Structure 1
Amino acid sequence: MKKTHRSALVLLSILASLPAASFALNPIIQTMYTADPAPMVNKGTLYLFSSHDQDVGEKNNFNMKDWVLATTTDMVNWTQYGAIASLRDFAWAAKEISGWDGFDNGAWAPQVIERDGKWYLYAPVQGRGIGVLVADNPLGPYTDPIKKPLIAGHAGGLYDSIDPTVYIDDKGQAYLAWGNPNLWSVKLNKDMISYDTSVGENGIIRHPMTVKALGERNPPDTQGTTLPKPALRGTSYEEGPWLYKRKNLNYLFFAGGPIPEHLGYSTGPTPEGPWTYGGVVMNPQSAFTNHPGVVDFKGKTYLFYHNAALPGGDGFKRSVAVDELKFNPDGSVRTVQPTREGPAPVATLDPYQRV
């Protein structure tokens, strides 16, 4: 009896020392519909900010009112915090445009970055441009420091001032890029709530929309788009830019067209290019849109994306998923095959910590 008891203790001790043999499950968040993933890493934690597709709302339309957050330290166990900011944090968005109430809809793809202890959330407000919110911690509260759009709506119309991506290079220069069907960028000032107006057109640069830079659209766009002012698209670039750097190479990941969207990438010597098209990262998924989010975490690189895999899901009720992203020796990106299991754990779970 004593021998059996002693053996059981030894077995428990061995099991406790082994890595967790669990795996993530895609989609990551299964209690709500999420889209447009914006991962970032800070002090050993991966923060996943995303947009939020409402369960109910106008049929066959995006119903999006706030932005949500989830975190992980091991890529398997996630803690959800729900909404951390909403359209109501932008008072200037209240004005109705063509019958659309800014407080009611239009909280599209965000991205968040930390600098000098402050957290900056950049988000498009449908039809009104791109705003910026600031908080002292990732959970907020987030407040609007400039009380107006950081990037106003411009020549491209309703959809051009969307999908901001923010990046800080090794020298501390911050960049903000965005756009559909064009690709635009600015150099942010160190305060992160204004930008350098000495370059481009009042500080805004329109990147060359060439096949060499952004790939050939296949099939080509010959019918225009559903934009208020239809515009032909000559490249595979659609929307959802994401800036990332690996070794000495800058990457521009993006959602590519035609619809349904795939994910593609280009590379360049700087965060402003000039870009050279690299190829397809992920083929179209079950939602007609997609949105890349690429981040390094605990020795691995991950591609976040969205699909329509949850029950009741469709192109307007999407779900964020993640898989490992791998590179070839020359820096080119390998095509990602989405998995149901998701990535393997990169840390063990502390059984005494609430998750």
Structure 2
Amino acid sequence: MSFSKKAVGIILLTSLLTLSFSSCNDNSKAPENTEVTSDADKSSESPEVEKPKAIEPNKPLFTDVFFADPSAHVFNDKLYIYPSHDIDSGIQPNNDGDQYAMEDYHVLSIDDFNSSCVDNGQALHLKDVSWVKRQMWAPDAAYKNNTYYLYFPAKDKKDIFRIGVATSTSPTGPFKPEKNYIQGSFSMDPAVFTDNDNKSYMYFGGLWGGQLEKWKTGKYDSNGAAPQGSEPALGPKVALMNDDMLTFKESPQEVSIVDENGNPILASDEDRRFFEGAWVHKYNDNYYLSYSTGTTHYIVYAMSKNPKGPFTYKGKILNPVKGWTTHHSIVQFKDKWYMFYHDASVSGVDHKRSIMYTELSYNSDGTIKPIN
């Protein structure tokens, strides 16, 4: 090849490269924010993720599964709810509550009320507990000793309600039960309160199906009857717990609930007397014992300067809701106070209940503002 031919080839190649480079630069100078997307590109885009629905006050947390008796606690800035799990047992209702034939426990959790409530699945089942025969009713939970404790009532092999305890390293379980129920325990509705001095107390008891009236002598009497008329009403029981949180440090004693004059609330006073579902919380320097009146379907409360009482009756917190039972808990979460409760508005069946919540507020004297 001659020099002239080589020179022409080099010139042509250089021109082609220059044109190509120029073309790339022109594309890079397209107007800002202009985007061309083909139909194929559009079809490959990820669908928009639906945001979790906020949890509204006084609306069921779930409508497709039934939980009741919510015990709410805050662990590590997260809200956990320990409820009973209602099922359709097919058993006809009676005063012993046989229709409430619950078999297991789930743990619910809430990051905040702008997110959904999560069912973390089964945490403990009847078949896992050797001493239990049936009816795992309203539970509660506590945290101490780097351990989470689940307290639950159930009928033993003799159909006597006892209170058991199971442990876990996680607030959602699974929970491993102790081999036997807590010695000295009886009846139902355990609620554990830990004070500022790190002492923990268990409150428990309930009439009728809860068998509290059958323990008036300190021993189980199958013929034991509830007080009547002008007799003082029965109060819940309280026991100081050992540091292991597995045993009582003392024998349970009755909690006294009195009126403004210091007189015991009477058995006939069904708007104020204790029936079941005791819960204790502390606000400022006051201890609050709240509970269900049962037959009249109120949640009411009494106040004291001592976690063991006596507690002076103060008034109603919650008016009757749909369904026979009323069971609640009160908890502080993210600088506000809330009450969790249940009703039967979704199912229309007393033993298939749904959990809800509502905000709780106090008057300047420490009394609680009623919730309608």
Same topology, TM > 0.5: yes
Quick check: 1:128–1:149 contact (8 Å CA) kept in 2? no
Amino acid at match of 2:165: V
- Return the offset for 1:141: 2.5
Give the Cα–Cα distance (whole angstroms) in 2 for the partners of residues 28 and 234 of structure 1: 29
Give the Cα–Cα distance (whole angstroms) in 1 for the partners of residues 105 and 333 of structure 2: 22
Amino acid at match of 2:274: Y
- Return the offset for 1:86: 2.1
Q: Deviations over 1:258-310 (max 9, x none)?
A: x1411001111121112011100001110111111100000110000010121
In the other structure, the counterpart of 1:344 is none
Give the Cα–Cα distance (whole angstroms) in 2 for the partners of residues 5 and 248 of structure 1: 64
Quick check: 1:262–1:284 contact (8 Å CA) kept in 2? yes
Mapping of residues 201-350 of structure 1, within 5 Å: 203-212=251-260, 220=268, 235-257=272-294, 259-310=295-346, 312-337=347-372
Q: 1:108 aligns with which of 137, 141, 144?
A: 137
Structure 1: tracts of 5 or more residues without a match: 7-19, 94-101, 154-160, 198-202, 222-232, 338-355
Quick check: 2:256–2:264 contact (8 Å CA) kept in 1? no
State how many pairs are aligned.
289
Percent identity of equivalent pairs: 27
Quick check: 1:135–1:143 contact (8 Å CA) kept in 2? yes
Structure 1 residues 144 and 299: CA distance shift in structure 2, 3 A: same
Q: Deviations over 1:38-62 (max 9, x none)?
A: 1100111100110011034323311
Structure 1 residues 315 and 331: CA distance shift in structure 2, 3 A: same
Q: 1:130 aligned to 2:163?
A: yes
Q: Which is helix-richer, 1 or 2?
A: 2
Quick check: 2:106–2:123 contact (8 Å CA) kept in 1? yes
Quick check: 1:132–1:150 contact (8 Å CA) kept in 2? no
Q: 1:189 aligned to 2:242?
A: yes
Give the Cα–Cα distance (whole angstroms) in 1 for the partners of residues 370 and 74 of structure 2: 24
Structure 1 residues 252 and 2: CA distance shift in structure 2, 3 A: farther
In the other structure, the counterpart of 2:42 is none
Q: 2:178 aligns with which of 145, 151, 171?
A: 145
Give the Cα–Cα distance (whole angstroms) in 2 for the partners of residues 325 and 62 of structure 1: 29
Mapping of residues 58-77 of structure 1, within 5 Å: 58-60=91-93, 61-76=99-114, 77=116
Higher gyration radius (CA): 2
Structure 1 residues 38 and 22: CA distance shift in structure 2, 3 A: closer
Give the Cα–Cα distance (whole angstroms) in 2 for the partners of residues 137 and 278 of structure 1: 37
Quick check: 1:294–1:304 contact (8 Å CA) kept in 2? yes
Amino acid at match of 1:67: Y
TM-score between both structures, scaled by the size of structure 2? 0.71
In the other structure, the counterpart of 1:24 is 56
Structure 1 residues 216 and 3: CA distance shift in structure 2, 3 A: farther
Amino acid at match of 2:171: P
Give the Cα–Cα distance (whole angstroms) in 1 for the partners of residues 55 and 202 of structure 2: 34
- RCO higher in 1 or 2 (8 Å CA, sep ≥ 6)? 1
Quick check: 2:302–2:315 contact (8 Å CA) kept in 1? yes
In the other structure, the counterpart of 1:165 is 191
1:88 is paired with a residue whose SS is: helix
TM-score between both structures, scaled by the size of structure 1? 0.75
Quick check: 2:256–2:309 contact (8 Å CA) kept in 1? no
- Return the offset for 1:207: 1.8
Structure 1 residues 295 and 168: CA distance shift in structure 2, 3 A: same
In the other structure, the counterpart of 1:88 is 127
Structure 1 residues 2 and 66: CA distance shift in structure 2, 3 A: farther
- Return the offset for 1:148: 3.1
Give the Cα–Cα distance (whole angstroms) in 2 for the partners of residues 128 and 293 of structure 1: 21
Give the Cα–Cα distance (whole angstroms) in 2 for the partners of residues 290 and 268 of structure 1: 23
Structure 1 residues 73 and 27: CA distance shift in structure 2, 3 A: same
Structure 1 residues 217 and 193: CA distance shift in structure 2, 3 A: same
Q: 2:66 aligns with which of 33, 45, 50?
A: 33
Q: 2:88 aligns with which of 55, 64, 73?
A: 55
Q: Deviations over 1:108-161 (max 9, x none)?
A: 1100111122011111103331111111112222122352344433xxxxxxx1
Amino acid at match of 1:314: V
